[in-house]
Structure 1
Amino acid sequence: MTIPLDLVVSVSDHDSLDSVATQARRAEEYGFERVSAGETTGWDMVTTFAVIGERTDHIGLSNDVLSPYGRAPTVLAQTALTMHEATSGRFRLGLGTSSPAIAKRWHGASFDRPLRRLRETIDIVRGVYEGGSVNYDGEIYQLDGLSYDRAVPDDPPSIDVAALGPKAVELAGRFADGWVPQLFTVGGLDERMADLRRGAELGGRDPTDLRVAPLVRCFASEDRERAREETRAMVAFLVGAYGPFYGQSVAEQGYEDVVEEIRAAWDDRDTAAMAAALPDELLDEIAAAGTPDEVREQIKQFGEIDGVSAVRIGFVRGMDSADKEMTMEVLGSML
């Protein structure tokens, strides 16, 4: 297998930025192409990746994701350009609408018109990248005449969009440089690629220029059952409790009854019942959990989807440091 692998660092599992940077260095040593991490209510990812960038040499850096509900589009552009300089061009800017819970309960913002807001954010970031005065008269944002107060590089950071639904994925294809999907089956992802290609065509772009890196939750272990049960529990939580969008996406991939049962269990906060409702069939289609050989084979299937540029490896809640090291080693052997 020659497809690149990215690694998602579970920042919440670390007790220091030193520890996060050490794991990123290990990913670099194993041959992973990029390292990324998500931002919710813990450490901010700008500072975190500035530290990682300073302590690594060549691995690419991506954030998953920064939201226009938490930062103004111009600030996102400033951040991307500063990170570009700080990391010698290794940074890709990850954008997404996040979720109603994060927008409302953490950022104090109304989760209104998320796709329009994301579209205008990309427009404004591109405008800052172009240099000169930034004038923008949008439905959500209006900017009038200020400029980025530094030289703009010829190769500003690429923009990746985390998206699930057909319209959001079409938007990514039309306006962004990459797409980061999550919780898709191989078949579901292959079908959604049509929306990405349609967006690229609407934007007069070549879809093969887009970096598509699906995030797959992985746990490789000689203790097969433990790996599978820990992964099952996390996937069930993401489907049933982590905002409305993941569950909706999985339901639309042919698992409506499963999602309904998992959500009903979450209404009772019965996490054991949530996990029990996730069948082996779905677990094997949406994640990579089991023996090293099984995990390698499952990741290979995602990498062979037409249009996929890389596979982004995510850890599973419940893994200890030895579990993560083994999973990195197992997947690093494919590189």
Structure 2
Amino acid sequence: MNAELDLLVRLGDYERPRDVADRAVQAENLGFDRITVGETTGWNIVPPLTLAADRTDELGISNDVISPYGRSPALLAQTALTLHDASDGRFRLGLGPSSPAITERWHGQAFDRPLRRTREAIEVVRAVYENGTPAYEGEIFDIYGLNYERDVPENPPPIDLGTLGPKATEMAGRFGDGWAPQLFTKDGLEDRLEDLARGAELAGRDLDDLRVAPIVRGIANEDRDLARRKARGTIAFMLGAYGPYYGDSVAGQGYPEVVEEIRAAWQERDTESMAAALPDELLDELAPAGTPEEVREWVAAYGDLEGVDAVRVGFVNEMTEEEKAVTMEAVADLV
């Protein structure tokens, strides 16, 4: 496989923040290029990623993704610069518009103008990087500005955007340093890469200037049927219950009837019917799920798509520790 290999871990799977560092050491020993974690309503990302950085030497450190509704732009810059120093320059900052549920029901903010807020947050972070101050006048943020009390590094953390739609992805190409999409078929990803390239062109760049690292959630098990049952439940839940965006994206990739049926089942909270509504064809398009050999071949083919720089492999629900180890070892053979 020509692409790099990232490992996405879920903080909710661990009992203590330092357990994430143990996973990072395991990933580095297996040859993964980068570890990344998400942040929703559980742990703050900074402690576990700081511990992971301290325990590793070369492994890249990332997050997928944090929201401009949950942190002020200046705090986003502080978070990035802190993790940059903790990792000796191995950190990449992941930002994304988030969702109405997390924004409104956790952070207590109105989910208003998410793309504009994300763009301005990026510009404020870059202002801190370049000028040592968040001073900024925009439509969302109007900041007089104080000075960052430390020296800003010569090469501050790159900014990756987690987006799905065409306009949001164009924004990622124009203002970001990388793109971390999720739940894309191969054809769907290739279509969206055109939007990313258009945004990059508007900024006087091309796709080679951005790190494209799509997220895929999978599971390897010699018991193929078990692996696919667990993956099917996870993907169906993401399409039907994770807010509108994932479902809308996959519907736009050619599966509107499937998404409609899964959403209807979710209205009844019928998770078995949700999973049953996800056909093998779509499961095969979206997730590496099956025997270790099948998962390895799937990830290799995805990583060989033109424009993909890394495949970010995450786990599905209900996986045992043994299944996680088997899955990591299966894809690690590609590096």
Same fold (TM over 0.5): yes
Query: Which aligned segments of 4 or more residues in structure 1 are displaced greater than 3 angstroms?
Result: none
Q: Matched residues in 1 for 2:195 and 2:210: separation?
A: 13
- Bigger mean CA offset, 136-145 vs 270-279: 136-145
Q: Matched residues in 1 for 2:18 and 2:320: separation?
A: 17
**TM norm structure 1:** 0.99
Q: Matched residues in 2 for 1:92 and 1:203: separation?
A: 20
Unpaired runs of 5+ residues, structure 2, are none
Does the 8 Å contact 1:266/1:274 carry over to 2? Answer: yes
**Residues 65-85 of structure 1, C-alpha deviations (whole Å, 9 max, x = no match):** 110100000110011111111
Q: Matched residues in 1 for 2:18 and 2:172: separation?
A: 34
Residue of structure 2 equivalent to 1:95: 95
- Aligned partner of 2:94: which letter? G
Q: Matched residues in 1 for 2:214 and 2:132: separation?
A: 35
SS of 1:283's equivalent in the other structure is helix
Deviation at 1:145, TM superposition (A): 3.4
Deviation at 1:304, TM superposition (A): 1.4
Does the 8 Å contact 2:132/2:152 carry over to 1? Answer: no
Q: Matched residues in 1 for 2:207 and 2:128: separation?
A: 24
Q: Matched residues in 2 for 1:9 and 1:177: separation?
A: 22
Unpaired runs of 5+ residues, structure 1, are none
In the alignment, structure 1 residue 307 sits paired with structure 2 residue 313: no
Residue of structure 2 equivalent to 1:153: 153
Does the 8 Å contact 2:74/2:134 carry over to 1? Answer: no
Does the 8 Å contact 2:296/2:334 carry over to 1? Answer: yes
Q: Matched residues in 2 for 1:104 and 1:180: separation?
A: 23
SS of 1:219's equivalent in the other structure is strand
Deviation at 1:315, TM superposition (A): 0.3
Does the 8 Å contact 1:9/1:35 carry over to 2? Answer: yes
Q: Matched residues in 2 for 1:73 and 1:17: separation?
A: 25
- Aligned partner of 1:321: which letter? E
SS of 2:289's equivalent in the other structure is strand
**Residues 290-329 of structure 1, C-alpha deviations (whole Å, 9 max, x = no match):** 0111111111121111110000001010111000001001
Residue of structure 1 equivalent to 2:234: 234
In the alignment, structure 1 residue 3 sits paired with structure 2 residue 21: no
- Aligned partner of 1:137: which letter? E
Residue correspondences, number: 335
Identity within the alignment, %:
59
Q: Matched residues in 1 for 2:220 and 2:28: separation?
A: 19
Deviation at 1:206, TM superposition (A): 2.4
SS of 2:172's equivalent in the other structure is helix
Measured on the aligned residues, the alpha-carbon RMSD in Å equals 0.9
Residue of structure 1 equivalent to 2:244: 244
SS of 1:238's equivalent in the other structure is helix
The aligned runs of 1:86-125 (5 Å cut-off) are 86-125=86-125
Residue of structure 2 equivalent to 1:176: 176
**Residues 194-245 of structure 1, C-alpha deviations (whole Å, 9 max, x = no match):** 0000000011112211000000111011000000010000000000001110
Residue of structure 2 equivalent to 1:28: 28
Q: Matched residues in 2 for 1:275 and 1:133: separation?
A: 49
- Bigger mean CA offset, 262-271 vs 212-221: 212-221
Deviation at 1:134, TM superposition (A): 3.6
**Residues 245-271 of structure 1, C-alpha deviations (whole Å, 9 max, x = no match):** 000000000000000000000000000
- Aligned partner of 1:29: which letter? N
